[in-house]
């Protein structure tokens, strides 16, 4: 409005030409004091940690073996290509403990929407710490676990004091409004990738928050949830995974088949290991975790690696790269359970898109089963087997009758006494004697 007034030629606050200039009134004593109070600098809020109380989860033992998800993702191959350096991954979950030996130096103070204050670097239930460990866990001693982006930083955004929707018998202990506030806070305070562990059955302001983050160039990765209903062909949509431009992540088990609890619907863009994955406990040691939120953590780590190597890529381009380089899965490509396939960070870092337009490749048609034809063929096979069996039986019976016809008369003639074969007569061989002269033979001289 002030700009419009200035353009119309009206001088704001000016009167007639002969009017005396206006003077500021003399400040009163009370005004002076209030002015001084207003000029005082406000104290900067300090980050504090929540009191976990009885909800505090204990430490776990160290696990020396290499976790199965790590054998697949091979962070040792990723290290020479990218480590996530310079990337800040916001983990919107139950908080992240910054004192674990594998997480120290990689966890910022963050924010806590549960208490409405700074300080998300505490995890009372040991869940957000597990998601963070899959991303940035450092190699320590004989422990096998190592994060896929150990050079990144974690921005913990605490939105719940419970594990996010870990199964059909549990519900979210937070609200879409708190999660949306956490997403917005992360987008405003330096996050370069945002991971969301919670999943809701309605928007509740989540899509507005993710749109804000994506608009600032920040990829948002969200778990699709662990409330799969086996009685439904397609699960209801879950948020924020269902929001535009959000990467929805499902979970697979060690044999790379979809987890039984992983939601199956059109919000699944990718899958990643989520069943029985090993990651950091909230205090010390490592433990096993299950759920799509763990899978989302791995995809968020992969997004951080891609963003490090391609800082100019948009969230959409990062999502496209992860989808284009995903590996095939048992459920087939672009299914409601698996999305584009199993995330492969190594391929995402090493493969480049072709300059030419994509070439369509026809898929293999799914086998069709004609129940009627199958039953007819089965009946025919059964008929063939029966016919062969009957023919064999008839032939065997006929041979038996022939044998009986030959043997019965002879047996009846002998009075059913056993017969003996006639002995074979043989002439004994005559001995062969050597040639010798007979005593009655004439002398050789007299033989004519």
| DSSP-based helix, strand, coil % in the chain, nearest 5 | 30, 10, 55
- Tell me, yes or no, if 228 is annotated catalytic: no
Catalytic residue chosen out of the listed positions 129, 166, 197, 293: 293
Catalytic residue chosen out of the listed positions 94, 106, 126, 127: 127
Nearest to 93 by CA among 220, 170, 176, 179: 179
Residues 30, 35, 36, 40, CA torsion sign: positive
The partner residues of 223 in beta bridges, in order of sequence, read 249
- Tell me, yes or no, if 288 is annotated catalytic: no
Distances in Å between the alpha carbon of 176 and those of 87, 136, 205, 265, 303?
Answer: 26, 27, 7, 20, 24
Nearest to 151 by CA among 75, 93, 217, 100: 75
Name the phi and psi angles at 112, rounded to 5: -125, 105
Catalytic residue chosen out of the listed positions 93, 112, 235, 275: 93
Helix (H, G, I), strand (E, B) or coil at 177: helix
**Which two three-digit tokens encode residue 262?**
């992983």
Per the rule left: phi > 0, alpha: psi between -120 and 50, beta: everything else, 34 is alpha
Which residue is listed with tokens 């562990």? 197
Helix (H, G, I), strand (E, B) or coil at 223: strand
**Which two three-digit tokens encode residue 235?**
């699960």
The arrangement of strands across the sheet holding 246-252 comes to 117-118, 111-112, 153-158, 88-93, 193-196, 220-223, 246-252, 270-273
- Tell me, yes or no, if 127 is annotated catalytic: yes
* Cα distance between residue 355 and residue 349, in whole Å: 17
Three-state DSSP string of 272-316: EECEEEEEECCCCCEEEEECHHHHHHHHHHHHHHHHHHCCCCCHH
Q: What is 20-52 written as a DSSP string?
A: PPP-PPPPPHHHHHHHHHHHSPPPPPPP-----
> Active-site positions?
93, 127, 293
């Amino acid at each position: 409005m002030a700009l419009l007034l200035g353009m119309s030629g009206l001088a704001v606050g000016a009167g007639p030409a002969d009017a005396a200039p206006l003077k500021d009134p003399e400040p009163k004593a009370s005004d002076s004091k209030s002015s001084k109070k207003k000029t005082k600098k406000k104290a900067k809020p300090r980050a504090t940690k929540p009191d976990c109380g009885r909800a505090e989860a204990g430490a776990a033992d160290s696990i020396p073996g290499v976790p199965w998800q790590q054998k697949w993702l091979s962070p040792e191959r990723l290290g020479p290509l990218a480590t996530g350096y310079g990337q800040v991954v916001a983990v919107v979950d139950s908080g992240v403990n910054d004192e674990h030996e594998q997480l120290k130096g990689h966890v910022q103070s963050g924010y806590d929407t549960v208490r409405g204050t700074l300080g998300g670097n505490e995890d009372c239930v040991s869940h957000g710490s597990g998601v963070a460990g899959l991303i940035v866990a450092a190699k320590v001693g004989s422990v096998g676990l190592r994060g896929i982006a150990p050079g990144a930083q974690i921005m913990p955004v605490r939105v719940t004091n419970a594990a996010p929707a870990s199964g059909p018998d549990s519900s979210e202990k937070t609200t879409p409004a708190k999660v949306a506030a956490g997403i917005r806070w992360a987008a405003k305070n330096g996050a370069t990738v945002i991971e969301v562990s919670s999943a809701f059955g309605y928007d509740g302001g989540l899509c507005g928050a993710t749109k804000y983050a994506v608009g600032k160039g920040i990829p948002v990765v969200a778990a699709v949830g662990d409330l799969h209903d086996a009685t439904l062909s397609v699960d209801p949509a879950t948020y924020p995974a269902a929001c535009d431009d959000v990467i929805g992540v499902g979970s697979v088990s060690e044999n790379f088949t979809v987890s039984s609890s992983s939601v199956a619907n059109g919000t699944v863009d990718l899958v990643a290991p989520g069943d029985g994955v090993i990651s950091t406990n909230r205090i010390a040691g490592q433990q096993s975790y299950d759920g799509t939120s763990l899978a989302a953590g791995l995809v968020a780590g992969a997004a951080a690696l891609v963003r490090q190597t391609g800082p100019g890529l948009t969230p959409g381009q990062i999502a496209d790269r992860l989808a284009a380089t995903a590996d095939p899965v048992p459920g087939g490509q672009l299914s409601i359970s698996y999305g584009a396939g199993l995330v492969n960070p190594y391929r995402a870092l090493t493969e480049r898109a072709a300059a030419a337009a994509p070439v369509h490749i026809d898929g293999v048609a799914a086998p069709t089963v004609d129940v009627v034809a199958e039953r007819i063929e089965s009946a025919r096979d059964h008929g063939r087997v029966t016919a062969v069996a009957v023919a064999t039986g008839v032939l065997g019976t006929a041979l038996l009758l022939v044998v009986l016809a030959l043997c019965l008369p002879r047996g009846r003639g002998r009075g059913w006494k056993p017969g003996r074969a006639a002995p074979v007569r043989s002439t004994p061989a005559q001995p062969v004697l050597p040639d010798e002269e007979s005593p009655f033979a004439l002398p050789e001289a007299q033989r004519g």
